[in-house]
Amino acid sequence: MHILVTNDDGVTAPGLLALVIEMRKLGEVSVLAPDHNWSAAGHVKTLHRPLRAKPVTLADGSPALASDGAPSDCVALALMGVIEQPVDLVVSGINPNANIGHDITYSGTVTAAMEAVINGVPGVAVSLDAPEHNRGALDYSAAAAAARKVIETLIKHPFERDILLNVNVPYLPENEIKGFRPTRQGMRIYRDELIRREDPRGKPYYWIGGEAPTGVDESGTDFGALKAGFVSIAPIHLDMTAYKVLEEIQSWKWPE
């Protein structure tokens, strides 16, 4: 198996290396990741400037490629031929913070896995639910091991190619993680606040600030599983059609 590993935090992020080391136990690993942090950059396709992919060395001395494109660009570049050997699976992460509920279209981590699915390759996004604004170094070992176990399970089963798995791991030592739970997308509660300041010339500028988001703690959801100490595995569709609403509006009288 040939696994492409990417992320949205940049090729030097420790979460990427932790994932790479664990994925090597499953097959051959190639890395093509952004050259800087693209967190919350969403699903991007760069069409109006050229993209580069330059050889770099990870902290363990292994080779990788770093691109000036977004996470989704990195996946597209790799699958379209920048990496010559065919890719069987794309794994993105490990993001330091959870990607649940409405986070998924903001998330570079998840949209990289979406890009894999668009290109006909299964995608897995892996995020760690570490406290926001954590100052020290994070321990990614439990999340990396959890990611490997999820993928070991995945490759034993037939899997629809147009689905990605959005994996979130509680920030707990490996022996305190309670297990693995298939989940549905839950509800995020954003606590964004508009911060308005003035620049030295008296012109206003804005920051989107506020506290870290929380969520609705409901059983069966990604957020609920994390709060209960389980690894959340949410299968995600790129088909965003609201099927119930479609049925309903089909019965409306529309202009001829």
Residues that bind Mn ion in the complex, under the rule CB under 5 A: 8-9, 39, 95
Per the listing, tokens 């998840």 go with 110
Smallest separation, CB 254 to Mn ion (Å): 43
* Residue closer to Mn ion (CB basis): 67 or 95: 95
Smallest separation, CB 223 to Mn ion (Å): 18
* Residue closer to Mn ion (CB basis): 131 or 220: 131
Smallest separation, CB 197 to Mn ion (Å): 25
* Residue closer to Mn ion (CB basis): 170 or 244: 170
Instruction: Report whether 146 contacts 175 (CB < 8 A).
Output: no
Torsion of CA 201, 204, 205, 209, to 10 degrees: 130
Sign of the four-CA dihedral 155, 157, 161, 163: negative
Strand, helix or coil at 29? strand
Smallest separation, CB 170 to Mn ion (Å): 17
**What tokens appear for 171 in the block?**
């920030």
Question: Strand order in 53-57's β-sheet?
Answer: 53-57, 63-67, 28-34, 2-6, 89-95, 123-129, 163-170, 230-237, 179-182
* Residue closer to Mn ion (CB basis): 9 or 22: 9
* Residue closer to Mn ion (CB basis): 8 or 22: 8
Q: 94: cis peptide before it, omega within 30°?
A: yes
Smallest separation, CB 7 to Mn ion (Å): 7
